[in-house]
Amino acid sequence: MAVGLSEPENLLPVAGVELAAISAGIKANQQDDLVLLKLEQGSCCAAVFTRNAFCAAPVIIAREHLKLASPRALLINSGNANAGTGEQGLEDARQSCALVAEVIGCEPQEVLPFSTGVIGENLPMQKLQSGIARLPGKLGADNWLLAARGIMTTDTLAKAVSSTVTVDATEVTITGIAKGAGMIRPDMATMLAFISTDATVEPDWLQQCLHAAVKISFNCITVDGDTSTNDACILTATGASGSRMLAGECDDSKQFVQVLTDVCTRLAQAIVRDGEGASKFVTIIVDSAADEAEARRVAYTIAHSPLVKTALFASDPNWGRILAAVGRAALDDLDIDTIRIFLDDVCIVSNGGRDAAYQEDMGQQVMSQDEITIRVELNRGEQQATVWTSDLSYDYVKINAEYRT
């Protein structure tokens, strides 16, 4: 069950974006598994993709198409990753784009394909062909939640966020959906996320906005330390609000970036809250580091420790596991006597060992909560990093052991 998370009740339509979701029969459970986002002509797009060397065929084709044209449509299928499928996978991804282009009236290179699901199986192209033909008849501006459900795999509920920002007296909307619950580890992007705005944005600046937002949102989450072959985060701007052009360092541009980052952060945290088998939502803060890189290194060493994660699941204040993770994060010249470690506001480690005022019941009270903060003071500098993660439960093992069965 997701930790402190429920499906959104109200999602705002984005002028210039229509969505459709149907069941094409890719998933065995007959749930929706094929989604189309149709974009108004003249929309611009920013994207980040996985850096996994075995990137999926749709990632390769999407990158190619972005170099050739501005997208008019995004096609997403769930239930099949089209990864590890060689030349056939590339051909299937290209054919999928051509089929979409035919039914909505655009060029194949104006379609970006995305897939998520089981790796190593070819796309069922007959099912996709039949499904794509039905998608245009289902398009609507208010179908964001249906689309969010249609891209799910092991997610237990849909993840979607809407917000608004005022640009020179014009209200613009930002709405995004994301999927992901396992195989989550930041590496440019970590899952699938599709975010749209009706703001008018200079294209190169839009890419800068996305990189800035992803760095401190999607690239700060981890469930299990595995980076997928299919990760992508796409930001589209239709300009349909009629707002003035955003770019550079003006106040409106800064406000837009702030709201975009908030949307990305809420989506990223939703992924962790719905992590496979998760019963805890954990914030790890490492501050007073010499630089951001070492702060992140310590945070991820804690976040990826199976011993820490299983202690979290058991609500066991086994603080020695956290201490050990900090110690093996490979920081040069680490002075353990200056480090302090906290569970929420409870100091558990100082002066190289257990804090003198710490009592087991204090740690137990914190660890029994659904939401926990682990904070590490390195006292080596002024830099900081925050990472969000989950615990490691019996259900995580069960879900992944039975993933293909």
- Residues 188-225 have pLDDT tens digits of 565 899 999 999 999 999 999 999 999 999 999 988 77
Neighbours of 258 (CB within 10 A): 11
Helix (H) or strand (E) holding 80: strand 73-80
Residue pLDDT, tens place only, 58-68: 999 999 999 99
Q: How many domains does the chain have?
A: 2
Confirm whether 7 is domain-assigned. Answer: no
**CATH number of the domain that 394 lies in?**
3.10.20.340
The confidence band for 399, taking pLDDT boundaries of 50, 70 and 90, is confident
The pLDDT value given to residue 4: 93
Neighbours of 175 (CB within 10 A): 24
- Segments forming the whole domain that contains residue 238: 17-273
Q: Please report how many Cα atoms fall inside a 13 Å half-sphere around the Cα of residue 367, on the Cβ side.
A: 21
Domain end, chosen from 230, 245, 273, is at: 273
Same domain, 205 and 251: yes
Same domain, 345 and 254: no
Mean pLDDT for the chain overall = 94
Nearest to 180 by CA among 233, 127, 132: 233
* Overall average pLDDT of the 286-314 stretch: 96
Residue with tokens 């952060």: 265
Q: Provide the whole-model pTM.
A: 0.94
**Interatomic CA distance for residues 62 and 49, integer angstroms:** 9
Instruction: Kindly name the residue from 173, 190, 261, 283 that is annotated as catalytic.
Output: 190
Residue 190: active-site member: yes
Confirm whether 9 is domain-assigned. Answer: no
Same domain, 207 and 99: yes
- Contact between 166 and 141 under an 8 Å Cβ cutoff? The reply is no
**CATH number of the domain that 24 lies in?**
3.60.70.12
**Residue 226 pLDDT greater than 80, yes or no:** no
Same domain, 210 and 285: no
Same domain, 228 and 371: no
Per-position DSSP letters for 18-45, written without gaps between them: EEEEE--S-STT----EEEEEE-TT-EE
Give the whole-number percent of the chain exceeding pLDDT 90.
Answer: 85
Confirm whether 214 is domain-assigned. Answer: yes
Tokens standing for residue 89: 């996978």
